Amino acid sequence: MVIDSQKMKSLAEATSREDVAGRSLWADARRRFFRNKAAMFGLVLLVFVTLFALFGNSIAQWSNEEIDFSVMGMVAEQGGPSLANGHYFGTDDLGRDLFARTVQGTQISLAVGIIGSAIAVIVGTIYGATAGYFGGRLDNLMMRAVDILLAIPYMFVLILLLVMYGRSITMLFVGVGLISWLEMSRIVRGQTLTLKGREYIEAARAIGVPAPVIIRRHILPNLIGVVTVFATLLVPNMILTESFISFLGLGVQEPMTSLGALISEGSGTISYGTLWQLAFPLLFFVLTLFGFFFVGDGLRDALDPKDR
Amino acid sequence: MKFPRPPIGTPHMIVYILKRLAIAIPTLLLLIIFSFLLMHAAPGGPFTQERELPAQVLANLNAKYGLDQPLWKQIVSYIWGIVAHFDFGPSFVYKDRTVNEIIAQGFPVTLTYGFVSFLVAVVAGVTLGAVAAVKHNTIIDYFAVGVSIGAQVLPNFVMAPILVIVFTLILGWLPGGGWRFSDPSYWIMPVIALSTSYMASIARIMRSSMLEVLNSNHIRTARAKGLPAHRVILRHALKPALLPVISYLGPAFVSMITGSVIVDIYFSTGGIGKAFVDSALNRDYAVMMGVTILVGALTILFNLVVDIVYGWIDPKIRY
């Protein structure tokens, strides 16, 4: 059979055009997000910080463990930032390259933030959606448990855990993950409760769709907006938690480091006139937090246009 | 029209408070049992030293501190000691001091600067947020938003060194550390370091809720009937706008207590956070647990108060 190739082409174009023509909720949100100057600024910051964390090591002239013996002991005079000897950000108090250490600190901080947030997304969403969907006594029980856990001064418990079971990065992830999902599960439950009353859920139930399938196919996709926004805003909070613990010297252990640990070291030595030891880690810390806050706020505005 | 509101003391208010207490008490018990089990399961006992103690000495020590009893008996007597005598037991490291003495030493300091910081954060935050909302989209608004965004990325452990650089090293105005009840110049930096980021969060929350309230129907009505602007804001807008701020106070209180650890370390104020970190580094489990439980109890109590105040202000809440 001879097919008019011209017609086929036009049909193909038409179907593909049809995709573009209808603007979905997501396309709308995307448009609003990219028009938001603060959010775009935040996104640029995040891209910069991520690139720094991923590729910073290939620019670094020193590793994070090497001690530069030519500056050791005279860090205040010779350890400052300089292009000549390859210490772009100067050296730390022991003569280690601060650039490489800041790269590593940024990596660890980002990792803790993103993993903590990911745990919150997985556990919090499943927990909150289950409690909200089934409701009744189960919901009451599950949410009381969250209330009780939220009332515990978690930072103290986390420090208790770190002291008693050794200061390791795994323990830090476990500790941060244990607490991060609580708030998320509350938000997801609230959203699920409102979704549950919608007609399409009722329709799905009426034709006998089993509960897990309803949750997976009809509830979870509608939670994406809330969860994304909250997860984005959770990342900087996780980074703050980790930095707090590392500042106390209970977080990641040498030779590994995180931004909190670097800020702690830097602020301990400012009286010797080595301001760069505080300034560079602090700069990346602030840039990262700014980035996540702006992007999170931008996402919220984009997904919920009436809340402005 | 005035909405009827249950004044404190009506029966359903009391039922509500009792209901909240019914949650608070198991929470506290759970916290005690949890931290006790954690301590029990930790590798190494309180008397583990580099040079091993003779078995007889160890047995005597264990008997003295009641560690030879079965686990449930230890837990029960620990809880009983706290409930009946407010006694957290002896310190495991300082043989001549009890946990109560160590806590009593630092607690007044923490309470003083904590209370002042809390007040500063709430008053300054609410004012900043309310003014920003009233002067929406003016220079004042942008300034307030700028301050609150900037302050949010400067948590207490970042604020503390910056304050010391500016006010002690460069300007030389304030003492860099230490604590005196009689001299408020020792209070200033701890309070600023502790309150800034919460002030910022409160300002943000206050601004957005105030904006929402100012756009609502009852404010339009109040304006339409010709009330002067200050009366509209103070009598009709402020109270409903405060509700989200009040529900934030609980979490803010918890993180402020946590933040006091940083203040105590950085400014050597000698508060309860110092006792906690020292005991953490010394593995003085008794003190760690005592502080954790005390802080937990305070948190639960504070959340209870916040809930009651919330219900009292918000006429929509029926218990």
Average pLDDT, stretch A129-155? 82
- ipTM score: 0.71
DSSP per-residue string spanning B150-166: HHHT--HHHHHHHHIII
Phi, psi (degrees; rounded to nearest 5) at A91: -120, 165
Q: H-type helices in chain A, by residue range?
A: 5-21, 25-35, 37-59, 75-78, 98-119, 125-134, 136-150, 154-164, 169-196, 199-206, 211-214, 220-247, 259-268, 276-303
User: Which residue, B28, B31, B32, is CA-closest to B75?
Assistant: B32
pLDDT band at A160 (very low <50, low <70, confident <90, very high): confident
Nearest by CB to residue A293, choosing from B43, B152, B155, is B152
DSSP per-residue string spanning A205-240: HHTT--HHHHIIIIIHHHHHHHHHHHHHHHHHHHHH
pLDDT band at A307 (very low <50, low <70, confident <90, very high): very low
pLDDT band at A21 (very low <50, low <70, confident <90, very high): low
Among chain B residues, CA nearest to A264 = B157
Four-point Cα dihedral A153, A156, A159, A165, nearest 10: -80
Contacts of B295 in chain A (CB under 8 A): 153, 156
Q: What percent of chain A stands above pLDDT 90? A: 6
pLDDT at residue number B126 = 92
A244 and B262 in contact by Cβ < 8 A?
yes
Distance CA A50, CA A98 (A): 18
Contacts of A270 in chain B (CB under 8 A): 161, 164-165, 169
Average pLDDT, stretch B159-182? 78
pLDDT at residue number A298 = 82
Nearest by CB to residue A153, choosing from B149, B161, B292, is B292
Token digits of residue B184: 């408020």
Contacts of B257 in chain A (CB under 8 A): 153
pLDDT band at B43 (very low <50, low <70, confident <90, very high): low
Nearest by CB to residue B161, choosing from A163, A270, A290, is A270
Pick A281 or B54 by higher pLDDT: A281
Instruction: Inform me whether the C-beta atom of residue A267 falls under 8 Å from chain B C-beta atoms.
Output: yes
Among chain B residues, CA nearest to A294 = B149
Instruction: Inform me whether the C-beta atom of residue A165 falls under 8 Å from chain B C-beta atoms.
Output: yes
pLDDT at residue number A156 = 74
Are A284 and A213 contacting, i.e. CB atoms less than 8 angstroms apart?
no
- Helix A220-247 × helix B238-267 angle, to 10°: 30
pLDDT at residue number A207 = 93
Residue B269, CA distances (Å) to A247, B93, B117 in order? 17, 22, 14
- pLDDT digit string, tens, across residues B111-167: 888 889 999 999 999 999 999 888 888 888 888 888 888 887 777 788 887 888 788
Distance of CA A178 to the CA centre of its chain: 16
Measure in Å the smallest separation between the Cα of B27 and chain A Cα atoms: 5
Token digits of residue B258: 């946590």
